[in-house]
Amino acid sequence: MFFKVKINQTLMNDLYRYACSLCNDPDLSFDLVQQCCEKLLKHKKPVINIEKYAMTILRNVYIDNYRRKKLELVVDSKLNQQNELNEQDIVKDLESCLIDEQQITIILEKLDDAERELVFLWAVQELSMSEIAKVMNLPRGTVLSKMHRLRKRLKHQFPQFLQETPEYG
């Protein structure tokens, strides 16, 4: 017995944006969304939160496709040792950067798949570091470390694009 799953335009747009953040290719993004929708429509149990479930399916499909191409995601063992970064400092540093639309395109081209996903989940989906850790199936400290290193690299690579905002007291 199949349950009716309602896939609306908003969900499709969210899935497509998430797919774009993962693979940075519009055609592959359409394929990912299609595979995700197929799995959703074939699902036999009721789903409480269709949006989160669909995002999880999309991410899993992406990882499955990634593995089929004989590429592996590499996890740095040192990441788990850096759990002492303060989430608020990292978020504050990222929010202090002003970047315009053209600059974002240039910067996103320099990010790898995992970094684009991290930026998407944080900036577009507005998830907390703990929520991002759950979605990416990583320890919170690892996500904080990745975000900290990404921020440092972007500030170093693109100092002409990044401008500190004044502190408001």
Torsion, CA 86, CA 88, CA 93, CA 95, rounded to 10: 150
Residue 97: phi and psi, rounded to 5, are -95, 130
| pLDDT tens, residue by residue, 55-82 | 998 998 888 877 776 554 455 545 444 5
- Is 105 a residue whose pLDDT tops 80? no
- Which residue is listed with tokens 């009721």? 46
Q: CB of 132 within 8 A of CB of 121?
A: yes
pTM recorded for the entire structure? 0.50
CATH architecture for residues 77-157: Orthogonal Bundle (1.10)
Question: What value does the mean pLDDT of the chain take?
Answer: 75
| pLDDT tens, residue by residue, 17-57 | 999 888 888 888 888 898 888 888 887 777 788 888 889 98
